[in-house]
Amino acid sequence: MKQPNQPRTLRQNIREMPATAWFLTTGVFVNRFGSFVILFLVLYLTRMGFSASEAGTAAAAYGVGELLAGGIGGDMADRVGRRATIVSSMLVSSASLIVLSKLTTFGPIVGATFVVGLSSEMFRPAAVALTADTVPEGQRVTAFAVLRLASSVGFAGGSALAAYLVSQSFQWLFAADAASSALFALIAVLTLPDDPPRGHAAPQAGTSGYRSMLRDRPFLLLVCSAILITFVYYQQLYALPLRVEHLGLPPKDFGLLLTLNGALVVLLELAISSLTMRRDSRSMLALGFVLVGAGFALTGAASSLQMLAATVCIWTLGEMVGAPVSYAYVADLAPPDMGGRYQGIFGVAWGSGAVTGPVIGSVLLTLNAMLFWPLLAGVGVVAATLVAAIGPRKPSEATSAGFGSTPESLPSGEGLPGEPFPLAEGTGGPSG
């Protein structure tokens, strides 16, 4: 017979996941499987006759929309409800993809691309908050690991299908992407609970809720650490390909490195989460951040594809250690009526790396390439230090992922349970 204080197992957590979490995981898988257009947007626009800079501007518009989606989606999740936010996000995404596929002039294309980026990502805070609503605290790390796994597998499988569809017609990409969004909306309508708004009449609703967030020191420290580590993590899309090119390796080798990252996440993250869910979440986040910084710092010393692959293994390990923990950590920090907004702001912090990574990275790498790579390790250490500075929660508030929900079940020194690596966003890591 299982003793009350005996740690939960991964299998037990998966077996006891509520139906709502499984339906939501299915919807995320379907949506990520059909996320085709952003992969081929630049190629699509250049084939239409637009310049590379114009195509890049359109891609940047998508990124701006994606960045804003966290805050807007989080606010909607609390104000109008989780299911309503997911459904509206997916329906607008589906419609805007169809509109984008019919446009032929640059200005409207940029505007439609912005709407696609905004609408296609607004569901994420609601999805994360709904998972936290329905899954007990001691099981959330596992639930978020399962959600990320579904997102990663869906994106990997969808990318293979996208390569076939684009060989037939770009219009098939738009149609399939729109259909996957619409299908997620249908799944949400049929299976997810019609939850009431969380912040409508609460004292923390609206701007006062965000003001109270500014007084939440543990959350602000976590947000600052996420902004730092995401700058490092997004170097996989800027500094890493430049390093591959500097070594004289072909572009396909860069693709192989990203494939390695995705494969490791799919194969190992769930098993690793069975270990991290029993540990102090602040320690796991700090360890993950240090590994990410160290992995990218060593990229500057790598001189072959094999050595680069080893560095990818290091920072991917950091991703797998920290990712499932952080969503659960934010969920536990958030007041009951602000779960969506907390997840939304955390998502904005993570998305900032898509801007700071290439912009600041390009300046630093140009100024001094020899110092740039060790600097990434330093940033990782600073991010880890900020997490460590959060300190443990009060005993009356603490719960441990993998242990019971009562203070007595906590091992000595355990803090708050616990993704700076959100739902496998399509970079091979976050995202899901």
Q: How much is the CA Rg of the chain, to the nearest whole Å?
A: 21
CA dihedral 220, 223, 229, 234 (to 10 degrees): -160
- Which position has the higher pLDDT, 354 or 168? 168
How much is the pLDDT for 281?
82
406 in a structural domain: no
**Do residues 377 and 294 make contact, with C-beta atoms less than 8 angstroms apart?**
yes
User: Which 3 state secondary structure label does DSSP give 407?
Assistant: helix
Confidence of residue 198 (pLDDT cuts 50, 70, 90): low
Instruction: State pTM to two decimals.
Output: 0.70
Give the number of other Cβ atoms within 10 Å of residue 40's Cβ: 17
Question: Distance between CA 135 and CA 13 in Å, rounded?
Answer: 10
409 in a structural domain: no
Nearest Cα residue to 380 out of 227, 229, 234: 229
Q: Which amino acid is at 199?
A: G
157 in a structural domain: yes
165 in a structural domain: yes
* pLDDT tens-place string over residues 291-303: 999 999 999 999 9
Burial (Cβ within 10 Å: 0-12, 13-18, ≥19) of residue 120 = buried
User: In this structure, what DSSP letter does residue 193 have?
Assistant: -
* pLDDT tens-place string over residues 292-343: 999 999 999 999 999 999 999 999 999 999 877 887 788 878 887 788 888 8
Joined tokens for residue 408:
């007595």
**Do residues 93 and 308 make contact, with C-beta atoms less than 8 angstroms apart?**
no
How much is the pLDDT for 414?
30
- Which residues, including other chains, have CB under 8 Å from residue 20's CB and lie 6 or more apart? 130, 134, 191, 192, 193
Tell me which residue range forms the domain holding 138.
Answer: 10-401
Is the model's pLDDT at 412 over the cut of 70? no
Backbone dihedral region of 300: left (phi > 0), alpha (psi from -120 to 50 degrees) or beta?
Answer: alpha
Question: Distance between CA 288 and CA 296 in Å, rounded?
Answer: 13
How much is the pLDDT for 209?
62
Please give the distance of CA 75 from its chain centroid, rounded to a whole number: 18
- Which position has the higher pLDDT, 359 or 227? 227
How much is the pLDDT for 394?
44
> What is the overall mean pLDDT for the chain?
81
423 in a structural domain: no
Joined tokens for residue 151:
């997102």
412 in a structural domain: no
Q: Count structural domains, the chain.
A: 1
Weakest-pLDDT range from 163-177, 317-331, 399-413: 399-413
Is the model's pLDDT at 87 over the cut of 50? yes
CATH number at 33 reads 1.20.1250.20
99 in a structural domain: yes
427 in a structural domain: no
Mean pLDDT of 373-384: 97
